[in-house]
Amino acid sequence: MTSIKLSRPVADFHVHVRDGKMMELVVPTIKQGGVSVAYIMPNLVPPVTSVSDAVAYRSRLQAVDSSITYLMTLYLSPKITPEVIHEAKKAGITGVKCYPAGVTTNSDYGVASYVPYYPTFAAMEEEDMVLNLHGECPSIGHIHVLNAEEEFLPTLKDLHTRFPKLRIVLEHCTSAAAVQAVLECGPTVSATITAHHLFLTIDNWAGNSFNFCKPVAKFPDDRAALIKAATSGNPKFFFGSDSAPHPIVNKEKGKGASAGVFTQTLAAAYVAQVFDSVGAIDKVEGFLCEFGRDFYKIEEMAPSFSVTLTKTDTVVPNLLGEGPGAVVPFMAGETLGWTVKTEDL
């Protein structure tokens, strides 16, 4: 198969576009990557912790590109009470994102214990909202970046047991253990898989801050488990790019370099390349377009463009934007074997 016209564009269930100038630079790349539905992360500075913040943020996004359906999340913090959940549901907000304190970019306001949020989770379960979990424990004591996700898995299972009807997404899973845990949970638990974690292992980010993200890419066996899950056709696993733009100056820092890999511009091409490399290109549409939409039960605008994936070479640009705020895309300068083409309807 050398060309696939998708029945509908890609839905990307984990997108960082920031605000202000970075938002203006990055939002137009959502469509370029073949995506018409973007689930927008709330880790702005300060984070999105009220319904009015989320609604205003959605309007700013729409002003940059009105052809995308933006799905909004709130940043879990003490402000997200059960009352806020009921208000959020009425305002069309889809979910709540939970960052454990200190594990990644802009997670300083994150959660130290889940217990105080049980009433919030109960309200979300009642309203049928989605809980998005950044599944890592902070690096304290015996915990470090390589086992932080595995150490989190008992918490995933505990929350699922306490709130069996609450739809939970284990975001950007990176390990064989996480895949196994998601498979062991009931149908209300799913996981997103990024494009970059289908390519990267520990050797690729040790010494290369442009490939550094959280959770960090793990071992070759873990990557193999992710590829197997993504290409399996099991609807529990769907696409969430976790594309995370950072100004080049913050990536070139060495010590203290920001965590995040930017894949938005060629999102669907990276994924197609990996699926094709294991003979599973026939499974790509389910992963990119169908399973996430089904799990989220989303309402969206009729797409204003079509997307075709073609097996032809694309050279990944070296830079998006100019000056110190420019962003270096994943695999900059390398050639991908697949191209994303969008056509206005």
Which CB atom, from 45 or from 63, has the smaller least distance to Zn ion? 45
Nearest to 95 by CA among 74, 117, 121: 74
259 touches, from ligand DOR, Zn ion, none (C-beta below 5 to 8 Å by class): ligand DOR
Min dist. Cβ of residue 195 to Zn ion (A): 13
Distance CA 291, CA 234 (A): 8
What residue 251 binds from ligand DOR, Zn ion, none (CB within 5 to 8 A, per partner kind)? none
Site for ligand DOR (CB under 6 A): which residue of 54, 193, 259, 271?
259
What single string gives the DSSP state of each residue in 285-306? HIIIIIHHHHHHT---PPPSEE
Beta bridge partners of 95: 73, 130
Of the candidates 29, 43, 94, 273, which one interacts with ligand DOR according to CB under 6 A? 43
Of 87-95, 156-164, 236-244, 322-330, the segment contacting Zn ion by CB under 5 A is: 236-244
Q: For ligand DOR, give the closer residue by CB, 18 or 58.
A: 18
CA–CA gap between residue 345 and residue 340 (Å, rounded): 16
Of 222, 242, 276, 285, the residue at the interface with Zn ion (CB under 5 A) is 242
Cβ contacts of 227 within 8 Å, gap of 6 or more: 198, 274, 278
Residue 105 contact partner, candidates Zn ion, ligand DOR, none, CB within 5 to 8 A by sort of partner = ligand DOR
45-51-54-59 Cα dihedral, nearest 10 degrees: -140
Indicate the residue among 105 and 342 with the shorter CB distance to Zn ion: 105
Q: Least separation, in Å, of the C-beta of 98 and Zn ion?
A: 12
Residue 102: which region, alpha, beta or left (left: phi > 0; alpha: psi -120 to 50)? Answer: left
* Alpha carbons within 13 A on the beta-carbon side of 69: 21
Q: Which residues bind ligand DOR (CB under 6 A)?
A: 16, 43, 104-106, 134, 213-214, 242, 244, 259-260
Interface residues with Zn ion (CB under 5 A) are 242
